[in-house]
């Protein structure tokens, strides 16, 4: 089997079911077009996107497999091979397989991602490069071409240019420099030129060769007055949705943030906290209201979602969804560390420059201890343990509202027990039956319930006895599997 076959099968199935829809990674063709120039554009587009893509011959525009003959297959392979060799700025090595969809033969042509990007039709210029967007082959914008060149040369997302050749006055209008100096607790320099030069010291902007300023992706995503101003970043604005219930049927509030992540962070957290339900607690004959979820945890997990997202995944950004029984915080991109090691492992970020800047501004933790503090606060609020989930192309953290132990599922108990064990271990302590009773508010006389939870977690392999040779149950202590 070819290395790319499983990906081709998965994408084809995804494009055909449940509702047929072409994807950025796959394009249906009922047969071979005689438009050589358009075929070259398709190959250019797939060569320029991450992991490349596929042309699927034998599927009509409605997503119905109509099949393709042996003679057609031979002709397509010959003509596409010639175009890939002769009609592009570089030679593209294509490959193919034939598979049955239902009872119809379909030709899948694999066009790999090219290392030297952008790829464009021969006889044209680099500005005539193509990409895939909303399932269509489209010409790249000048900004997209520049960013692709930057990626090909090893530039990070933050170093790439969001808006080139801007005057000092335009930078002042587009970048929230007031928030920048306020967060740093620095006095405002005298004059616009001095302000912009200070921004340049943090790579918010870069001076271009003609004396104007290039606003970097780092500057735009952290301190934009309005992210929509920067076309290529507009979909990276944070969305907050509140639902009436435990599903997505009835949204009662929805807002999309416009400000940069740094300048808008405090407002974002304030907005989220304002939507959260409260619990009423009586202390010393006085009634006090507390938010259902600890602000420390909300701040930490929202900051992590912003910092660790994968900006190369287009068309999506950080999403915060508030239900009556939970909060889900989702960011594009899979985590770079095992979700079971979030508590003890220092975070790894795809966006180190942004992470470093937000740490200097004290928006996120300096030494990777933020998840520890968040989990500790969740325990203090007697909430179920947070769930850390790795999806196909996303990371999700779910915080749950208060739930009685008797209502918890087995997975909830195991997750809470494991995180409790991790938290104690990184605090130079160990988990025991007594600490588990405290975590779950279990009466001392009901110690068998705590023992059962420990045993359930032991069975998963997430924890282990601190002393494997000890036979004492009463004084047994436990550590995480990685200890």
342-359 pLDDT, tens digit each: 988 877 778 999 999 999
pLDDT band per the 50, 70, 90 thresholds, residue 137 = very high
Rounded to an integer, what distance in angstroms lies between the CA atom of residue 86 and that of residue 202?
A: 45
Q: What is the pLDDT of residue 58?
A: 96
Residue boundaries of the structural domains of the chain: 5-139, 156-229, 237-403, 406-483
- The structure's pTM equals 0.70
Q: What is the pLDDT of residue 18?
A: 85
Structure tokens at 250: 């009835």
Instruction: Provide the β-strand partners of residue 287.
Output: 282
Q: What is the pLDDT of residue 432?
A: 94
109-133 pLDDT, tens digit each: 999 999 888 999 999 999 999 999 8
Q: Is the CATH code 1.10.10.10 the one for domain 406-483?
A: yes
pLDDT > 70 in the chain, percent: 96
Q: What is the pLDDT of residue 229?
A: 93
Q: Is the pLDDT of residue 218 over 60?
A: yes
Topology classification of domain 237-403: Heat Shock Protein 90 (3.30.565)
271-320 pLDDT, tens digit each: 999 999 876 554 445 555 678 899 999 999 999 999 999 887 878 899 99
Rounded to an integer, what distance in angstroms lies between the CA atom of residue 350 and that of residue 310?
A: 7
81-103 pLDDT, tens digit each: 999 999 999 999 999 999 999 89
419-430 pLDDT, tens digit each: 999 999 999 999
430-461 pLDDT, tens digit each: 999 999 999 999 998 899 999 999 999 999 99
Average pLDDT of the segment spanning 328-343:
90
Q: What is the pLDDT of residue 277?
A: 84
Q: What is the pLDDT of residue 365?
A: 63
Topology classification of domain 5-139: 3.30.950
- Going 247 to 248 to 252 to 254, the CA torsion angle's sign is positive
The region of weakest confidence among 132-136, 151-155, 240-244, 245-249 is 151-155
Average pLDDT of the segment spanning 241-270:
95
Q: What is the pLDDT of residue 282?
A: 46
Q: Is the pLDDT of residue 202 over 50?
A: yes
Average pLDDT of the segment spanning 390-403:
92
Q: Is the pLDDT of residue 155 over 80?
A: no
Average pLDDT of the segment spanning 307-336:
91
H or E segment and range at residue 281: strand 278-283
CB within 8 Å of 365: residues ≥ 6 apart: 300, 359, 373
Between the CA of residue 433 and those of 145, 325, 411, 425, what are the distances in Å? 60, 29, 19, 15
Q: What is the chain's mean pLDDT, rounded?
A: 91
**Contact at 8 Å (CB) between 327 and 320?**
yes
């Amino acid at each position: 089997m070819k290395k790319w076959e499983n990906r081709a099968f998965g994408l084809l199935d995804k494009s055909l079911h449940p509702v047929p829809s072409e994807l950025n990674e796959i394009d249906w063709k009922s047969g071979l077009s005689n438009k050589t120039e358009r075929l070259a554009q398709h190959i250019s587009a797939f060569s320029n996107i991450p992991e490349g893509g596929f042309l699927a011959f034998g599927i009509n525009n409605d997503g119905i497999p109509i099949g393709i003959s042996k003679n057609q297959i031979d002709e397509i392979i010959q003509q596409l091979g010639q175009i890939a060799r002769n009609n592009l700025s570089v030679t593209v090595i294509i490959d193919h397989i034939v598979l049955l969809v239902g009872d119809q033969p379909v030709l899948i042509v694999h066009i790999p991602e090219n290392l030297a990007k952008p790829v464009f039709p021969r006889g044209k210029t680099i500005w005539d490069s193509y990409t895939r967007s909303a399932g269509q082959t489209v010409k790249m914008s000048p900004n997209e071409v520049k960013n692709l060149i930057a990626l090909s040369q090893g530039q990070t997302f933050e170093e790439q240019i969001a808006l080139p050749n801007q005057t000092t006055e335009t930078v002042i209008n587009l970048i929230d420099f007031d928030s920048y100096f306020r967060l740093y607790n620095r006095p405002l320099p005298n004059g616009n030129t001095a302000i912009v030069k200070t921004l340049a010291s943090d790579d918010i902007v870069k001076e271009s060769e003609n004396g104007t300023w290039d606003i970097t992706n780092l500057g735009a995503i952290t301190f934009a007055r309005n992210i929509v101003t920067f076309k290529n970043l507009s979909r990276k604005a944070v969305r907050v949705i509140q639902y009436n219930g435990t599903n997505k049927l009835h949204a009662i509030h929805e807002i999309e943030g416009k400000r940069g992540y740094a300048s808008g962070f405090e407002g974002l957290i304030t907005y989220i906290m304002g939507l959260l339900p409260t619990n009423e607690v009586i202390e010393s004959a006085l009634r006090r209201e507390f938010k259902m979820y600890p602000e420390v945890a909300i701040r930490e997990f929202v900051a992590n979602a912003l910092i660790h997202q994968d900006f190369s995944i287009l068309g999506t950004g950080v999403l915060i969804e508030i239900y009556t029984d939970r909060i889900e915080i989702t960011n594009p991109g899979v985590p770079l560390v095992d979700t079971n090691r979030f508590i003890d492992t220092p975070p790894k970020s795809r966006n180190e420059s942004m992470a470093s800047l937000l740490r200097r501004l004290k928006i996120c933790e300096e030494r990777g201890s933020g998840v520890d503090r968040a989990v500790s606060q969740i325990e203090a609020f007697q909430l179920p343990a947070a769930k850390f989930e790795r999806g196909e192309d996303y990371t999700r953290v779910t915080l749950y509202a208060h739930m009685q132990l008797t209502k918890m599922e087995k997975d909830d108990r195991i997750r809470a027990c494991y995180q409790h064990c991790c938290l104690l271990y990184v605090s130079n302590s160990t988990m025991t039956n007594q600490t588990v009773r405290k975590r779950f508010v279990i009466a001392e006389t009901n110690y068998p319930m705590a023992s059962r939870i420990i045993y359930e977690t032991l069975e998963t392999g997430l924890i282990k006895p601190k002393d494997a040779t000890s036979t004492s149950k009463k004084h047994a202590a436990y550590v995480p599997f990685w200890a």
